Every structure is written in structure tokens, then in C-alpha cells.
Amino acid sequence: MLLIKNVKVVDGGGQEAKSADVLISGDKISAIGNFPDKKAETVIEGLGGYLTPGFIDVSTDADHYLTLFTNPSQDNFLKQGVTTIIGGHCGSSLAPLLYGSLESIRKWANPNQINIDWQTFEEFLAAISRLPLGVNFGTLIGHSTIRRALIGEDLRDLTEKEIKVFKEIVEESLRAGALGFSTGLAYAHSRQTPYQEIKSFVSLLPKYNAAYTTHLRDERAAVYNSVNETLQLYKETGAKTVISHFRPIIGYEKNFEAALGLIEKSSSKMDFHFDIYPFTTSIVPLYILLPEWAQRGGLETMLELLQNPGCQKRVIKELPPFKNGELTIAQSPTNPFLEGKTVTKKELVDLMLATRLRALLFHQNISPTHLEKIISSDKALIGSNSGGLGERAISTFPRFLELAGKQKKYKFEKAIKKITGDAAAKFNLKERGLIKEGYFADLVLIINNKIQAVVINGQTAVRNGQWQKITAGSVLVRNS
């Protein structure tokens, strides 16, 4: 039994903080009240600090980067108060796998670093349940993962028979507990996907109360049209929706403002959101910087094209005018010694050839002014877009709370609701996201604006800001 004493409870539902003690038995909250004489095996003195539900990171890449396997403790997330992470975004998930291949994540990591012993979504859940997870993990079904398994690297429309098979795979995965379905429409293999194809799969989601997340087809000049397409899909299917990492990209601020206005005007009463991270840097696969005409086929096809002297000359000519210091190598699975180095426009093609297009870059391309304005929007959820390593995995949520705290009219209780109760409701996570009797004991103690303790499923994983080498995370399925 665990007792957390003398705290101001912020329940995750938006209610004003109330002074109380919280008693935890097993993995659940057993009582909330005043227990001055209660005995417990472990007592945490709250010193009048805030006790909140564990934070829910609605958009992570721990699966894409495979750190879910190589670093299952995910302790960086825990130390910033995150107790639940959600993967399977941007059309790429680790399941279902028709032929045991992880082609759809090659832009993020080397699939050969893990052994794959699953195909169906249910088998995948069983496999990760055997890992010593430090955080709770739930995942969506990736559109590109299934599509590429069905037709390989072809960029064509699906046949009626293929769509029928695809639907059966999606429904089987939803019945097994997938949190929803995702698309990555900005990426080469999905950019030309017809609207009706996406609609045929998204239409399956309301029956299961499952979510749809999407990386927009265009985040720059045509961002308004991309948002409008997503809103239309919501209206025609009724599937609760999240636009993944909705970003005010420098040079396209007016386009972004128009798209944001469309969301706020059209979706006030809709279950329609976007997620953002409080940083001015995007993480992008290296190949995405190629001109659109060069992004065809798989990485091998793109690389072959890049090795052609005539095509390479055209690529160099059409690369955007990057400033010095704007691009930094975030990850290079084949050349790790390159990580952290800045890249100039002149060096970009050499990097593409040296890494065989298998690298990720930090791109300093987000407007800080616009970012601060939208961080408190009622339509904004928070996702780190992180694989569990680096600054985002350490400081996304403390930074969000810091920025929210600077906005005088934005109450702390409302900020906490965004990253707990609202996120849990969006992805239909049973008995999480709130401090409530009978709910799972995922809790964060904040004293003097610092994360002091984190409890996950009733176990104290962080004390005095330090990870206690506790791996008490669970695999989460949608509450159907």
C-alpha cells in the first residue's frame, strides 16, 4: 500500500485543485481524502505540491525508432512525468505484418536490429507484453504498413479485392485492441493515396470508438487544402480525429493561420484535434528533402536515381535554400558518428549517398511566435514526436507546462487536463487520465515546478526526480 500525503490534487478533468491525501492499493487508487492516521508500507510526503494524473504522450516514435525494444524502460519519458505513450503514427506501425517485414519504418531505424516473431496485431501485443516496459504503451494500426505489405513498392490504387482484404486486417486488429488507424500522407508511399481509399478504412473506426490520426498531405503551401480534406473525412465518417504534429512552418505562416482558422471555425463541437510539440525543430527523414519528383519507389529506387549524374544535378539545383545551422543530423543508423553534426546545403546530397538515405535530421523550421499562440488551443493535444531519446523525451511536457504557465488566462488545471483526461478520452484508455477512485494509479508529483515523483500502475518509478529502475508499464488496448 502506498500513501501520498499533503498534496493539491489536480484530477485531470479540469476541476480546481483540492488538498487531499491519496491512497493506492495494488495498481489502483483506492481512496482520496484526509488520512492523517493511515499506515502504509510506503509514504510519499507531498509537501503541498501538485498531484496530477500521469501524462499521456499522444504521439511518440518509440516504436518507429525501435527503442521500445532497445531501451524498453523508456526512463526519459518517466522522468518528465509521462506514464503512457502512444505509437503507430504517420501510417507506420509494428503490426500487423503480413509477411514479417518492417519496411515502413526504414526511414527511422534499421529493422534488422530486432527479431520479429509476430504477424498479427494480437501476436504483436503478446510479444511486447514480454518486455520490461517502463511506461504504458498502446498503438494505432499503420496504413502504409499494411498497404506496402499488400502491393510492395508500387505507387498505384488498390483493387477492390485488395481493399476488402485490407478492411479485414484493420477490423481484426481493432478487435484485438488497436487504439485506431493512422496515415502518413506526406510520405512517398502514401502521398497519392485516393481520398476514397482512406475513407473506406476510416469509416470502420466509429464502430469501435477508435481514433484516426494523420500526417497531412501538405504542411506548407497547401496546408489549408490538407486540413480541409481531413475535416471532410471527419464529417463523412464520424471518426474522432487527430492531425499529427500540426506545425507552423516558417515561410508558410499565413497558410498555417488560414488552416488553423478553418479548424477552430469548423470543429468547435467536433471530436477533432491536432497534436503539437513545444519545440521549433522538426524531425524529418532525410529523403523527404528530395524534390517530390525524386521521391518515388523505395529508398533503393530513390538512391539509384540520385546516383545518376543528370538527376543528381537537377536535385542539387532544386533543393530548398537552407541556411547554415538549419539542419542537424539527428540519427544515422549506418553512420552514428555523424549524429549531432550540422549539414549545409552543399553537403546534403553527399550525406544522402553516404547514409543511403537512412538518416533523420533536426530541421529548424517552426515559427516560435505561432507555436506559443496555439499551445493552449482547446484543439491542441501534446505529443513529443520522440523515440525516447534526446531533448524531446526529457523536456516536452515540462516545457509545455512552462509555456502554458506564461499565459495568464490559462489555468494550470486546464493545462493538466489537456495532457491527461483529454488524451485518455481521445484514445479510449480505460480508467486512466484521471485521479479517481478505482482508476489506475498513474500519478505525477510536482513540487516547485519540478517532477519529484512518478507512480505508474501503483509503483513508484521516479523519486526525487531520479528513475528507480522500476519497469511497471503495461500494454494498453482500446476500451471497447
Q: What is the CATH number of the domain that holds 375?
A: 3.20.20.140
What tens digit of pLDDT does each residue of 364-405 get?
A: 999 999 999 899 999 999 999 998 777 888 999 999 999 999
Q: What is the largest CA-CA distance in the chain?
A: 80
**Domain of 27: which CATH number?**
2.30.40.10
- Is there a single domain that holds both residue 169 and residue 73? yes
110 against 90, higher pLDDT = 90
Assess if residue 139 is contained within a domain.
yes
In this structure, the answer to whether residues 100 and 196 fall within a common structural domain is yes
Say whether both 38 and 170 belong to one domain: no
Q: What is the pTM of this model?
A: 0.96
Cα 298 to Cα 91: distance, rounded to the nearest angstrom: 15
Its domain, for residue 452, covers: 2-53+433-467
Strand 55-57 to strand 82-87: parallel, antiparallel, or no bridges (unpaired)? parallel
What is the rounded CA–CA span in Å between residue 62 and residue 386? 7
Statement to judge: residues 140 and 238 lie in one domain: yes
Q: Indicate whether 256 and 149 sit together in one domain.
A: yes
Count of domains forming the chain: 3
Same domain for 269 and 164: yes
**One domain, residues 178 and 87:** yes
pLDDT at 46: 97
- Classify residue 294: in a domain, yes or no: yes
Are 49 and 158 part of one and the same domain? Answer: no
DSSP 160-179: HHHHHHHHHHHHHHHHTT--
26 phi and psi, to 5 degrees? 65, -130
265 and 394 assigned to the same domain: yes
Residue 480 lies in a domain: no
139-162 pLDDT per residue, tens? 999 999 999 999 988 889 999 999
Same domain, 323 and 295: yes
Which position has the higher pLDDT, 104 or 373? 373
Q: Are residues 224 and 293 in the same domain?
A: no
Same domain, 313 and 267: no
Q: Which of 213, 270, 285 is nearest to 245 (CA)?
A: 213
Q: What are phi and psi of 342, to 5 degrees?
A: -80, 155
